[in-house]
Amino acid sequence: MADGIIPDEGLSRECYRILTNPDTEFQQWQLLLWVNNFIPTGAVTLADLVEASFTGYSRRALQWDGWSVPTVAGGVATSTQPTSQTWTNGNTGDVTVYGCAYYDPTYNVLRFVQRFDAGDIVAVNPGGTITVTPAFSYRSQ
């Protein structure tokens, strides 16, 4: 039997359910930044990512409330948080951040990994900041 898909009309609701359902234990998830030039695939694990370690960096707890109602375009539902997270590079050298990930310490797994678009991958100068608005995408296929 062929695999099924979630139609676009149900995709937004499924995405929102993942983010707001207590069973996902979302309140434990952590936002982290990674600094190695890596292109994630479905087989990515935390060990594949080099987590940022610059002075001023720490993982951030994600909040389960406040996610926007997901919008659907091209088979992808996307929801965002209303509050962005900002880190300041306290090192003496530049730090290049390639992406972010959501880590679930309860189950010791990555729940979501996103490599930034080419224009968003920049060296953060000493004293400079990087800001990330948490977003979550869910694909129908």
Which tens digit of pLDDT belongs to each residue from 80-132?
Answer: 988 999 999 999 999 999 999 999 888 899 989 999 999 999 899 999 999 99
Does residue 1 form part of some domain? no
| DSSP alpha helix (H) spans, the chain | 8-20
Does residue 129 form part of some domain? yes
Does residue 2 form part of some domain? no
Residue 141 confidence (pLDDT)? 67
Beta strand 76-80 with 135-139 is: antiparallel
Does residue 67 form part of some domain? yes
Does residue 72 form part of some domain? yes
Domain that holds residue 101: 8-139
**pTM, full prediction:** 0.88
CA atoms of 46 and 102, how far apart (whole Å):
10
Does residue 58 form part of some domain? yes
Does residue 3 form part of some domain? no
Domain count, the chain: 1
